[in-house]
C-alpha cells in the first residue's frame, strides 16, 4: 500500500517535471524541473530495491549532468532565446498526435499487463544485496556489452574533442 502510494508520487514527479521542463520559457527553470524528473526516477529505482542505481542516478545525473547544464546556461546569454516563441504553430496538432499515441500505448500495455515476467526484486537476504548482484552480472554475463560501452565512451570523448577544438 505504502509502496503503491510512493510509486504514484514518484510517477507524478517524473511526468509533471518532464512536462514543466519542456514548457518553461526560462532555461534555468527548465533545468530545475529536470532535477525533479530525475529525482522521481531515482525514487522508482529505490522502490525496486536498486539502491546502487538510486545513488548513481542522484550523483551522476543530478550532481553531474544537470549541474553542467546549469553552468552552460549561466555562461551562455539566453535572453534573446527566451524571447523567441516557445512552440511551433502546429503544436496543437503535435499534442493531438502525442495524446493518441500515448493512449494507444497505455491501452496496449494494460491489455497485456499480466504477460510481463519481471524477475522479483532482489533483496539483501537472498544474494547479499542488489549492488553486489549487479556487479556480479555486469562482470560475468554482461562482460562483453560492458566493454563495448567503454569503446562507445571513447568515441564520444574523441568526437567531442574533434568537434570542439580549434586546432587538432
Partner 1 sequence: MSQYYTSTDHFVLIPALMLALFGCAVLLFDFLIFPHPKQRKWLIVFLIIGEIFTGAGLWRQQSFLSSYGLNELTAFNGTLTIDGFALFFNWLFVLLSVLVAIVSYRYLEIENEHHGEYYGLILLAQCGMFFMATGTDLITLFLGLELTALSFYVMVGFLRTQKRSNEAAMKYLLLGAFSSGLLVYGFSLFYGLSGSTKIVDVADALAAREPGDPLVVLAMAAVAVGVLFKVSAAPFHMWAPDAYEGAPTTITAFLATGSKAASFAFLMRIFLGPLESARPTWEPLLIGAAVLSLFIGNIAAVTQTNVKRLLAYSSISHAGYILLGLIAGNETGLIGVAVYVAVYAFMTLGAFLVLVALRRRDLIGEDIEDLAGLMESSPGYAVLMLIFMLSLAGIPPTAGFIGKYYILLALIQTGHYTLAVIAAVFVAVAIYYYFRIVRAMFVSERKETAPLASTFGIKVALAVSGVLTLGIGIYPDPFLRMAGFSLIR
> Which range touches partner 1 (CB under 8 A), out of 27-35, 48-56, 64-72, 153-161?
153-161
| Residue 119 binds to partner 1 (criterion: CB under 8 A) | yes
Q: Which three cell numbers stand for residue 81?
A: 532565446
- Does residue 19 touch partner 1 according to CB under 8 A? no
Contact of 63 with 39, CB cutoff 8 Å: no
Q: Tell me: does residue 72 bind partner 1 (CB under 8 A).
A: no
Q: Which of 2, 4, 117, 125 binds partner 1 (CB under 8 A)?
A: 117
State which of residues 108, 128, 129, 130 lies at the interface with partner 1 (CB under 8 A). 108
Residue 144 interacts with partner 1 (CB under 8 A)? yes
Query: Is the Cβ of residue 19 or residue 154 nearer to partner 1 in the bound state?
Result: 154
133, 119 Cβ separation under 8 angstroms: no
Considering the rule CB under 8 A, would residue 80 count as an interface residue with partner 1? no
Residues whose CB falls within 8 Å of the CB of residue 100, separated by 6 or more in sequence, listed in order:
none
* Among residues 105, 121, 124, 135, the one that binds partner 1 under rule CB under 8 A: 105
- Going from the C-alpha of 58 to that of each of 46, 52, 111, the distances in angstroms are 11, 10, 34
Q: Which sign, positive or negative, has the C-alpha torsion 93, 94, 95, 99? A: positive
Contact (CB, 8 A) for 21 and 34: yes
Residue 155 is a binding residue for partner 1 (CB under 8 A):
yes
Which residues sit at the interface with partner 1, rule CB under 8 A? 104-105, 107-109, 111-112, 115-119, 139-145, 148-149, 151-152, 154-156, 158-159, 162-163, 168
Amino acid at each position: 500500500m505504502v509502496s503503491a502510494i510512493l510509486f504514484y508520487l514518484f510517477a507524478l514527479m517524473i511526468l509533471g517535471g518532464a512536462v514543466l521542463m519542456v514548457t518553461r520559457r526560462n532555461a534555468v527553470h527548465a533545468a530545475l524541473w529536470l532535477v525533479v524528473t530525475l529525482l522521481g526516477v531515482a525514487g522508482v529505482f529505490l522502490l525496486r530495491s536498486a539502491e546502487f542505481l538510486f545513488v548513481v542516478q542522484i550523483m551522476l545525473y543530478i550532481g553531474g549532468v544537470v549541474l553542467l547544464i546549469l553552468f552552460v546556461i549561466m555562461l551562455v546569454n539566453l535572453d534573446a532565446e527566451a524571447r523567441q516563441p516557445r512552440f511551433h504553430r502546429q503544436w496543437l496538432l503535435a499534442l493531438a498526435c502525442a495524446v493518441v499515441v500515448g493512449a494507444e500505448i497505455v491501452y496496449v500495455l494494460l491489455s497485456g499487463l499480466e504477460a510481463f515476467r519481471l524477475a522479483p526484486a532482489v533483496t539483501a537476504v537472498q544474494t547479499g544485496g542488489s549492488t553486489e548482484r549487479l556487479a556480479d552480472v555486469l562482470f560475468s554475463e554482461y562482460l562483453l556489452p560492458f566493454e563495448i560501452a567503454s569503446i562507445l565512451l571513447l568515441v564520444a570523448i574523441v568526437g567531442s574533442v574533434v568537434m570542439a577544438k580549434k586546432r587538432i
